[in-house]
Amino acid sequence: MERSYYAAAATFLLIFVLRRLFMVRKKQRRLPPGPPLAFPVLGHLPLLKKPLQNSLVDLAARYGPVVHLRLASRDAVVICSAEVAKECFSGERDIALANRPHFPSFREVSFDFIALGIANYGAHWRNMRRVATVQLLSAHRVNVMSDTVIAREVRAMVRRLARASSSSDGVAAAAARVELKTRLFDLSHSVLMEIFAQRRNTYSGDADADMSEEAREMKGIIEAIVPLLGVANMWDHVPLLRWLDVSGAAKKLVDVVGRRNALIFKMIDGERRKLMERENGEAASDETKSMIGILLELQKTEPEIYTDTYIAALIGNLLGAGTETTSTTVEWAMAALLNQPDLLKKAQEEIDAHVGGSRLLDKNDLPHLPYLHCIINETLRLYTATPMLLPHEASTDCKIHGYDVPAGSMLLVNAYAIHRDPAIWEKPEQFSPERFEDGKAEGKFMIPFGMGRRKCPGENLAMRTMGLVLGALLQCFDWSRVGDAEVDMTPSSGQVLFKAVPLEALCKPRANMSAVLQNI
């Protein structure tokens, strides 16, 4: 009895000492500054207003470039400084911060966290990243796609716009009112669908239709998924809210992801049938194979790695990430140019001087159109498609800017704030492509595609697509605003920086391009 008493007392004393040591160690941590008062259970979540990037700018103004927040049970560190962002994504610290937080909402959309953008840093992620960059999105493949897929879809978009601006006998009419959002999404989606599975949009007899039925279905799926994701979702941080699902968000996400997965697996089965049909015929070259076709070839040699789920996760990730961000960036660029017609005219004059009016510009012209690139860069700076980037997570304890960051902490990088920092950019709220002319912005920090190991592998394809699309719109048509009022530049709140009001503009074929547009 006495021995049991002493054993219990010793155990209690050991627990007490260990707890005190843990508390002392915890107190010794130098966490970044942040709001002193947190709400029970929710922490600082109620302080985060929409749009999130603006709310975090306000907190940074109060507490500094590195802010600590408690989001329910999770620590979060917010970065609003270019200097600190560089520190985070270089050297060994880049590895320590290369994980992703596994939100419940991400589980559904990422095939149980195996998609490229969501998977944690490790062997699986490295393999998927290598496949994406070397096999699917290499510079050579982007060049080939520019001459074929992208060029074809740009011509199709220009042709539809030209028809919308002409009378029934084909003669140029008054400027037509067009909504660019759906047309740009249609093009981005068509490019990716053909790259992935060699499936082109068909317009069911209506040459002027904005979107095919397939594109419309996928557009609806992506637009339904995006609002249900993101670091600001309360039910991602408070499991009880997901279980109760008062808003029905969890059920909606399961339903819409199921529809998306059915479409992707249908594409995979279709490409598999094509490969089987070609087995006894002439083998297709890697350049002419679809991305799914390349992945199915890899599946033959290593079926335990390149499963159908692996392929679906990679394709679903690239499709979701690439369609909205590319089309949204071009929409913002056109909106900004419509509010400053002199800049639009300057871009057209550059294209006229180099390309002329006898042909449509192509990939070989892009290096000779520096002002067009300045417009795209300024759009990426001011209207970053993913203003908060994707969140990172610390896999180990580390230090950022002299502060302690415990393992498991979420890292939020506010690219929106960094790109509008008045200490770096003169008149940061002003749309001014000239700031990028003649290397004036060289060395200035921009991260529209992220940085470090988790940088977007589709940057080359996105930049090439945006250059060809924006260039063709400016070369082929004169654009003006609908009415006298400036285009509304209000952004929506969400993970992707959409325009709150989709862009509508007046479009009229340019006289010097009439011969090209009649034969395109």
CB 447, CB 389: distance < 8 Å: yes
**Bridge partners of residue 55, in order along the sequence:** none
Alpha helices in 238-248 (DSSP H): 239-244
* Residue reference for tokens 């082109």: 200
Measured in degrees and rounded to the nearest 5, phi and psi for residue 187 equal -65, -50
CB 419, CB 382: distance < 8 Å: yes
The one-letter amino acid code at 463 reads: M
Distances from the Cα of 108 to the Cα of 118, 221, 261, 435, angstroms = 11, 14, 10, 42
How far apart, in Å, do the first and last CA atoms of the chain sit?
A: 97
How would you label 227-240 residue by residue, b for 16+ Cβ within 10 Å and e otherwise?
bbbbbbbbbbbbee
CB 44, CB 78: distance < 8 Å: no
Q: How far apart are CA 344 and CA 371, in angstroms?
A: 10
Judged by phi (left if over 0) then psi (alpha if -120 to 50, else beta), residue 130 lies in: alpha
The three-state secondary structure class of 468 is: helix
Count of other CB atoms within 10 angstroms of residue 325: 21
3-class secondary structure for 360-372?
CCCHHHHHHCHHH
Measured in degrees and rounded to the nearest 5, phi and psi for residue 113 equal 70, 30
Pick the closest to residue 394 from 75, 98, 69, 113 (CA basis).
98
Q: Binding site annotation covers 456? A: yes
CB 338, CB 487: distance < 8 Å: yes
CB 32, CB 58: distance < 8 Å: no
- Pick out the residues of the known binding site for heme: 456
Q: Which residues are annotated as a binding site?
A: 456
